[in-house]
Amino acid sequence: MEPMFSPPLHRQRHQFVIDFVKRYKPKKVVDLGCSECSLLKKLKFHREIELLVGVDINGANVKKKMHGLAPISTDYLQPSYDQLRVELYQGSVTQKDARLRGFDLVTSIELIEHLTLADVECFSEVVFGYMTPGSVIISTPNSEFNPLFPRLAGFRHSDHKFEWTRAEFKSWALKVCLEYGYEVTFTGVGQAPPGQQEGVGFCSQIGVFHRRGGRECCNMLFCDHTENVFSYTLLYSINYPSLHDNNIKRRVLVSEVLYWAEKLKRSWMAKKTGERDDTFTLCQAEGEGEDCLRALERNMEMEEKQTAACGAAMRNTVEPQDGEDGGLFWTNDRGEQESSALHRCVCVPLTLLWSSSQKVSALSGSLSNLRHLLMDDPEVKLSPDGSAVLLNYQEQDHENEGEDPDDLEDSGYAEARQCSHTAEPEEDWEANV
């Protein structure tokens, strides 16, 4: 009866690498002999990794499933600050390529037994002598385990050029360490049945190599640029969306601002008309009800004061009161009649958006950055002084009247343009985030 492994042996090998990644948190990882990228697909979820590379001599195999390494919709919808770039190459591990130098971790899972012994020598020089990674994980079949596969005649796979005993693997590994300055520990996956483990060892033997002297030693080696060869062919590369990319950050910020502006507008309008406010219910459900209500109350008070201050002014060009935190709404209309709603805007002050949404404040870093970012965005209408987001008073304004929402003269923007707030001095966005 052939030994069965649970979980399957290939999964145990990959899990070994994943456990190592969790423990040592390498930033740059390359998988040599990546085949159909199944290990890479698991590693991409470990977001401490910033550069994930796969190499295989068989480009067709890599191409089969490489698109499974692309970002998924949530990576775009909810990008984080994590950064990840994935690169896949066709090339031989017996050849040098400068793009693979300086990695934190190199994995070679069930690869070396596919090389001739002469090529294993080249592999040793390329990986340990040229790439000089911080750590290397090498797995290869342990031939001492083979008698436990009763139907096995010869090697485990027709393409294997050799299968080493534990002593043979150890002898090669120690020689590599001596030559290139590494130290190694031996382990494996795929336990033998009870009582036989010591006699036969693991089904897959694993050597874990660490560079002596750590990263500093490694960096010194890169002063030598004499061997900047590029022998591999790039098959695929992708950058995952990250909030470190200012365009992505701006897109996320704008959608959060528009969401909150609309939410606050609806709450205010519902309160004004005495209607049931589903948005406010939503605020409460999110545990923000009290803050939301208080902000709105302040707005209402401010609006009343300002309406009184403006009296029957044709437009409400209101100033925040001294000592107030600027939390206000005002309707910007042609003023004559309540019924002329179609020309009104609701202005949602940036200060209110800032205090209402932690995400808005975290993403923008400062109020003036927020203003700066929104100013350049075609999706957002800001008041002329840049202190508030302008929303149409009623959504049906344009639907009903066939009005062009971009026609600033008719949408109430023209009036809002006359507001006389003084913009805060701008800060450098790049310097603040």
Q: Does 142 bind ligand SAM (CB under 6 A)?
A: no
Q: Does 111 bind ligand SAM (CB under 6 A)?
A: yes
Tokens of 149: 């596969």
What phi and psi values does residue 193 have, to the nearest 5 degrees? Answer: -60, 160
Strand partners, 90: 56, 233
Q: Least CB distance from residue 182 to ligand SAM, whole Å? A: 21
Taking the least distance from each CB to ligand SAM, the nearer of 17 and 200 is 17
Q: Tokens 């002593």: give the residue.
A: 167
Q: Does 163 bind ligand SAM (CB under 6 A)?
A: no
Q: Least CB distance from residue 69 to ligand SAM, whole Å? A: 14
Q: Does 138 bind ligand SAM (CB under 6 A)?
A: no
Q: Which residue is nearest to ligand SAM (CB)?
A: 33
Q: Least CB distance from residue 17 to ligand SAM, whole Å? A: 9
What phi and psi values does residue 213 have, to the nearest 5 degrees? Answer: 90, -5
DSSP label of 240: P
DSSP label of 274: T
Q: Does 110 bind ligand SAM (CB under 6 A)?
A: yes
Q: Least CB distance from residue 188 to ligand SAM, whole Å? A: 14
Q: Least CB distance from residue 106 to ligand SAM, whole Å? A: 12
Q: Least CB distance from residue 225 to ligand SAM, whole Å? A: 24
Q: Does 387 bind ligand SAM (CB under 6 A)?
A: no
What residues from 42 to 71 belong to the interface with ligand SAM (CB under 6 A)? 55-58, 61
Taking the least distance from each CB to ligand SAM, the nearer of 61 and 83 is 61
Q: Does 93 bind ligand SAM (CB under 6 A)?
A: yes
**What number of chain residues touch ligand SAM (CB under 6 A)?**
20
Taking the least distance from each CB to ligand SAM, the nearer of 140 and 411 is 140
Grouping H, G, I as helix, E, B as strand and the rest as coil, residue 390 is strand
DSSP notation for 191-213: PPSTTTHHHH--SEEEEEEEETT
Half-sphere exposure of 411 (CA within 13 A, CB side): 23
User: For residues 212 and 183, is the Cβ–Cβ distance under 8 A?
Assistant: yes
DSSP label of 68: G
Q: Tokens 């590994």: give the residue.
A: 173
Euclidean distance between CA atoms 100 and 102, whole angstroms: 7
| Chain contacts with ligand SAM (rule: CB under 6 A) | 10, 13, 33-35, 38-39, 55-58, 61, 92-94, 109-111, 114-115
